[in-house]
Amino acid sequence: MSAESSGAASSGTAPPVAGAHRRPWRGAFPAVAAVLVLFLAASSAPSPIYVIYQQQWRFTAWVLTVVFALYVVGLLASLLVVGALSDHLGRRPVLAAAIGLEAVALVLFLVAGDVLVLSAARVLQGVATGAATTALSATLVDLEPRQARVRAGVVTSVAPLTGLALGAVGSGVLVEFGPAPTRLVYALLLGGVALAAVVVALLPETSPRRPGALASLRPRVAMPAHLRADIVPLVPVMIATWALAGMYLSLGPSVAAELLGLRSHLIGGVVVTSLAGTAAFAVALLRSRPASSLLAPATAMLGLGTSTSLAGVAGGLVWLAAAGTVVAGIGFGASVLATFGTFARIARPHERGAVFALANIISYLGNSVPAVLGGIAVTALGLRSATMIYALVIAVITFSALVLRLNRPRPRCRMAAVACD
């Protein structure tokens, strides 16, 4: 789900006009789902390579996390500005532009020889991913078979996390066992992007043009007063969830190599995959559960997993750190379902775009700002101390949110159309 998967829910997609477009070809739905996985896989592919960049170019940990955060900045800006553009211009033009921008970013990765070029590549990749994921999510809703009306929601929930997991572990394999460790993965991803371009070229347009394209570029963010009591308690959980993801994606491979002695670059990918892959599995397993029933267990699992991983790193116990990561991954996936499911449940139709924009901002600020602060702390205090503090803060926030959740009075039903927790 996350910001990527919320695009379909918040886009206000209108069904295509009957007869206005050619019928989709057999396999169009899974092909679009594969393109969504590809974009997210490309976004996590640099994670196992960061350690190599750091060794070759001799930059500090805070620079590494800034590079990571630049991707989030580009992604968030894209989600907020062009998130609804495909509703006005059509899906195919937006997807074509996103694919072209992703190709440019991958070429920059291929030729990167310093942090400046790497940073530019990450910003462009963030913009491309934000534009693509919202349009792809909406396209999946458009193509959804009538007899399987929940399929698009499941795919847009699972595909982003699956892509993150596959990109990290696939990159780790290529870096460890293939030639040109800082080049090969990007060359292969360029080939995948070329195939994605073919998919979009063959795809029928599922959303007719309509006026308002320029107006749709204005970001709309809101916390309606009548939703404040429901949204505010979610904020600590969302921050802790996405701060944990930011730590794994930016510093995870370095922690595995330097603190746990796992020098294989493949392990760097496995670290990310253990979190994101488990989260994807949790989303698929728990997708039919009500959001209100998931929030407390998700928070507990997130805190327990983070604390266990912290104990494993502190004691140099790989198995304990790995077990904690899996538990945290379950909490991560359940938390994404619970928080974004709550946003979807409580927001009225005319509020959803602005409310989901707020959810995106909370999630991605929680993803990037703590990661940058963690990188600064690594430079000042060392990797071990900074990692301990980072994970401990996440655990404290998580358990505090759990206590507040368990002690929260049951809300009164404000509207007949909105179910109470």
Q: What is the pLDDT of residues 47-72, one digit of tens each?
A: 889 889 988 998 888 888 888 889 98
Instruction: Give the start-to-end residue ranges of the domains of the chain.
Output: 2-11+25-406
pLDDT of residue 419: 46
What's the CA gap between 314 and 164, in Å, rounded? 27
What's the CA gap between 363 and 24, in Å, rounded? 34
pLDDT of residue 299: 92
Q: How many residues does the chain have?
A: 421
Provide DSSP, 254-308: HHHHHTS----HHHHHHHHHHHHHHHHHHHHHHTTS-HHHHHHHHHHHHHHHHHH
Scan for tokens 């990765």, then name that residue: 109
Give me the half-sphere count of Cα atoms (radius 13 Å) on the Cβ side of residue 254: 27
Given a contact cutoff of 8 angstroms between Cβ atoms, the answer to whether 1 and 155 are in contact is no
From the list 138, 125, 151, the residue with the least C-alpha distance to 42 is: 125
Low-confidence ranges of the chain (pLDDT < 50): 1-20, 413-419, 421
Predicted model pTM: 0.81
pLDDT of residue 415: 44
Ramachandran class of 82: left when φ > 0, alpha when ψ lies in -120 to 50, beta otherwise: alpha
pLDDT of residue 74: 93
Positive or negative, the CA dihedral 24, 26, 27, 29 is positive
The domain 2-11+25-406 is placed in CATH, from the list 3.40.50.10490, 2.40.30.10, 1.20.1250.20, 2.40.420.20, at 1.20.1250.20
pLDDT of residue 8: 37
Positive or negative, the CA dihedral 11, 12, 17, 23 is positive
pLDDT of residue 35: 96
First CA to last CA distance, the chain: 20
CA dihedral 80, 391, 290, 164 (to 10 degrees): 60
The string of pLDDT tens digits covering residues 238-255 is: 999 999 998 898 888 888
Query: Side chain identity at 9, as an amino acid letter?
Result: A
